[in-house]
């Protein structure tokens, strides 16, 4: 590994960002992770992120945002999470779990962090397939943010900083297969929108995760949890 080739990695503790971290590591990057505390329903994701970063030999900084988003069922306990939705419904429209401009806020702070530490790339685990209708997970959006980096930062202008979204064209099955080949501890990733002891099995995120593992023919180490709640 070339220690001079640094990357900033957005690490949520979920499956996609975990695979992205191990992918960046395999590509030879010295990885510096950022996790965000923004009043999400549970702190479990961040605990997972800490463990995953340690497993990848990466650093982790937790950034507590100075505001809590309103109007999203992901952060507002008074709103119900969508449950047991058919795939076709999950894949159409923007769900109530949408958090306004979330990835833009995360990526902009990562841009500043990346420039400060001299990172060459910012890695994000967004993917278009199964993106549940989040506008800020689409390739068109990520291309626009890459342009922001290249035009709006000194490092980007000088060709030293770019956005990397290696999972963007992959579906959940392919992401899980890639993660397995990279040795990701899936048992240390958390996808559920709730923060119980076990995944709820009924939110959009649990449904997409279960489908991905099923299609990949891999057993999810957390799968007991799904059965317990079904």
Which member of 104, 195, 211, 218 binds a copy of itself (CB under 8 A)?
A: 104
Q: Does 1 bind a copy of itself (CB under 8 A)?
A: no
Q: Least distance (Å) from a copy of itself to the CB of residue 107?
A: 7
Binders of a copy of itself in range 165-224 (CB under 8 A): none
Residue 181 DSSP label: H
User: 60-79 mask for a copy of itself (x: CB under 8 A)?
Assistant: ---xxxxx-xxx--------
Which member of 85, 138, 160, 229 binds a copy of itself (CB under 8 A)?
A: 138
Q: Which stretch binds a copy of itself (CB under 8 A): 45-53, 57-65, 79-87, 204-212?
A: 57-65
Residue 145 or 213 with smaller CB distance to a copy of itself? 145
Q: Does 29 bind a copy of itself (CB under 8 A)?
A: no
Tell me whether residue 9 is exposed, middle or buried, using C-beta atoms within 10 angstroms of its C-beta: 0 to 12, 13 to 18, 19 or more: buried
For residues 61 and 36, is the Cβ–Cβ distance under 8 A?
no
Q: Does 59 bind a copy of itself (CB under 8 A)?
A: no
Q: Does 156 bind a copy of itself (CB under 8 A)?
A: yes
Task: Measure the CA–CA gap between 213 and 174, rounded to whole angstroms.
Answer: 10
Which residue's entry shows tokens 């309103």?
Answer: 70
Q: Does 96 bind a copy of itself (CB under 8 A)?
A: no
Radius of gyration over every alpha carbon of the chain, rounded to an integer in angstroms: 17
SS3 120: coil
Q: Least distance (Å) from a copy of itself to the CB of residue 131?
A: 12
> In angstroms, what CA-CA distances link 70 with 40, 45, 75, 102, 132?
11, 20, 7, 12, 19
Q: Cβ–Cβ contacts within 10 Å for residue 135, how many?
A: 13
User: How many degrees, rounded to 5, is the angle at CA 139 between CA 137 and CA 145?
Assistant: 80
The contact set with a copy of itself (CB under 8 A) reads 63-67, 69-71, 94, 98-105, 107-109, 111-113, 115-116, 135-136, 138, 140-141, 144-145, 147-148, 151-157
């Amino acid at each position: 590994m070339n220690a001079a080739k640094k990357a900033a990695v957005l690490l949520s503790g979920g499956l996609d960002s975990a695979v992205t971290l191990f992918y960046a590591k395999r590509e030879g990057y010295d990885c510096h992770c950022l996790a965000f505390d923004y009043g999400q329903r549970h702190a479990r994701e961040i605990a997972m992120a800490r463990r995953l970063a340690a497993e990848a030999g990466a650093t982790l900084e937790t950034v507590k945002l100075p505001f809590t988003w309103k109007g999203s069922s992901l952060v507002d306990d008074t709103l119900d999470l969508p449950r047991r939705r058919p795939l076709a419904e999950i894949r159409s429209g923007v769900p109530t779990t949408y958090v306004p401009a979330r990835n833009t806020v995360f990526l902009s702070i990562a841009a500043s962090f990346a420039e400060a530490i001299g990172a060459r790339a910012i890695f994000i685990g967004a993917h278009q397939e199964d993106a549940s209708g989040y506008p800020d997970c689409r390739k068109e959006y990520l291309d626009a943010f890459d342009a922001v980096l290249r035009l709006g930062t000194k490092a980007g202008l000088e060709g030293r900083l770019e956005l990397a979204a290696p999972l963007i064209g992959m579906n959940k099955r392919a992401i899980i297969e890639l993660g397995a080949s990279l040795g990701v501890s899936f048992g240390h990733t958390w996808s559920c929108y709730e923060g119980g002891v076990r995944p709820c099995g009924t939110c959009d995120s649990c449904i997409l995760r279960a489908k991905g593992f099923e299609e990949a023919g891999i057993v999810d180490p957390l799968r007991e949890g799904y059965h317990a709640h079904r």
